[in-house]
Chains A and B, each alone.
Chain A
Amino acid sequence: MKENENLLKLDDIHVHYGGVKALDGATVYLNDGEILALMGPNGAGKSTILKALFGIAPVTKGEIYYYGEKIYPVPHEIVERGISFVPQGRQIFKSLTVLENLEMGGFSINSRAVLKSNIETVLDLFPDLRKKLKVPAKNLSGGQQQMVAIARGLVTTPKVLLLDEPSLGLAPKVVKEVFAKIKEINQKHGTSIMIVEHNLQSVLEIVDRAYLLDKGQVVANDTPQHIISSGLLEKVFLAHK
């Protein structure tokens, strides 16, 4: 990666669902080692940015660069490049055990020894899961399922972790734990994190930079402090009330 080059850049992305513009020329970049928040009201296009990167949203125009190289969004190829996605809503594999969920997170890893070692590293981050490895994932609490989903996203030791609403539907105490883990992942492993979140108070405490989106366009790109002091948050959110 060249100096001053972004780790990941989505450039002028347009996504249309039928006649609805979910993204209308949004440009978003992520720097090496930072935690970045994507904020905005419902329908602003936050989750669509993550989906566009993974090839699960219909991109009609725009380009994606990783380490300065243009890439094409094919999910398994994106994972092999070192980008992981933890989708919204604690989407774990319910018919599999916790361990099997983690193994599936490392599907692209061909060496059994590497997979085992990576799972061990992930379990060091989430020690509570160690006791539940043989438990069917569907039997876990909501908070534990979210931990499994995040842990599964880390098995490949990704360079970039994309998190879509990780606090959704969780109790306030669990939300705090989840955000503490996200910060820990970033600090211990240097993982760059892009996070879509409604819980502004919690997310702004841990991020280095944030984008504010509205109607599929970026309306602000700044530090959390500046975005808060600018009054843009209230303006955008109140316009949707």
Chain B
Amino acid sequence: MNSIIPQLIVNSIIAGSIYSLVALGFNLIFGTTKFFNINHGVISTIAGYTVFALSKTYGMDVWLSIIIAIIFAGFVGYLSEKFVFLQMRKKRASGMVMLVGSLGLFTALQAIIAIIFTSQFQTISTDVGESKVYNILGGIITQTQLIILAAAISITVTLALTMKFTKFGKAVKAISDDVEVAKIVGINANKIIARVFFIGSMIAGVAGIAIGFDTGIEPTMGMNLLLKGVIASIIGGVGNVYGGVLGAFFLGFVENFGIWKISGEWKDAIAFGVLILFLIFRPGGIMGKK
């Protein structure tokens, strides 16, 4: 076996884990509200910078700053729903108007981050497994990456169980099916959607923090992360929570094996090439309708 293959597999799995976190939150919100929430990307950036500020600037314990950052990301998502998207829905704004609104919010929040922290690339100095490195069948994986993988798996499983077995999860599916009928049967749809934003944004926050520890943070990181999550969602099936995870790992493998013999700069070209192929030949995604 070629010696680089185990490393490509490890890299693919880690990339897939991060993309799956973005896709999970994005699909959860899209599936419930049926609008393309671009703002989701900047939530990841906010979480990354919150950890950076708390741990590096104020010297807070890294694990404590991670927990605070995840909750803070959830609150930012919740507030954006409460004060922006809910108000737009009340005015019966179309999907396109909602998309533009979310782009506006994304841009404003990204600009604020750049003003506060500058546009420079930053690393989050950490003791979260930075020093330990493992060799798995010839592939090198850091402890940070193992934590990212474990986080992705545990969040996916928890969300799947929540959707399947809880009253909240079933209400989310009901709203996703038909929000008007969901309201008619007595579901307080606005309250459920607000919770969806909180949870989806917390998951996006985990993705942002994962990227921060794996590579580093910059104010514009949110858009790239969002696009990868969206590509993963489209590949897997937009609005399908599990499809997004499948699409994320598919994308991770295609990206990393695609640059096996060529420059790493081709990664994005490959990712978007795959997106276009899916949009032409299977727009519903792997788990969606043909």
Binding site for B on A (CB under 8 A): 54, 56, 75-76, 79-80, 84-85, 87, 91-96, 100, 103-105, 107-108, 152-153, 156
Give 3 closest A-B pairs by Cβ, nearest first: A79-B186, A75-B183, A108-B186
> Chain A contacts of B177 at CB under 8 A?
93-96
A215 to B245 Cα, complex, angstroms: 52
Given contacts A93-B173, A104-B170, A107-B167, contact A75 B184 (CB under 8 A): yes
Q: Is the interface of B mostly helix, strand, loop or mixed?
A: helix
A100 to B188 Cα, complex, angstroms: 17
CB pairs A–B below 8 angstroms (16 shown): A56-B184, A76-B186, A76-B187, A93-B181, A95-B176, A96-B173, A100-B170, A103-B170, A104-B171, A104-B174, A104-B185, A107-B167, A107-B187, A108-B186, A153-B185, A156-B186
A105 to B173 Cα, complex, angstroms: 13
Binding site for A on B (CB under 8 A): 167, 170-171, 173-174, 176-178, 180-188
Docked-complex contact A76 and B174, CB < 8 angstroms = no
A96 to B178 Cα, complex, angstroms: 12
> Chain A contacts of B178 at CB under 8 A?
91, 93
A60 to B250 Cα, complex, angstroms: 52
> Chain A contacts of B167 at CB under 8 A?
103, 107
Docked-complex contact B181 and A87, CB < 8 angstroms = yes
- Minimal beta-carbon separation of A210 from chain B (angstroms): 24
The one of A84, A94, A104 in contact with B187, judged by C-beta atoms closer than 8 angstroms, is A104
Residue of A nearest to B186 (CB): A79
Given contacts A91-B178, A95-B176, contact A85 B184 (CB under 8 A): yes
- Minimal beta-carbon separation of A171 from chain B (angstroms): 23
Residue of A nearest to B184 (CB): A85
> Chain B contacts of A94 at CB under 8 A?
177
> Chain A contacts of B180 at CB under 8 A?
56, 87
The one of A56, A96, A105, A156 in contact with B183, judged by C-beta atoms closer than 8 angstroms, is A56
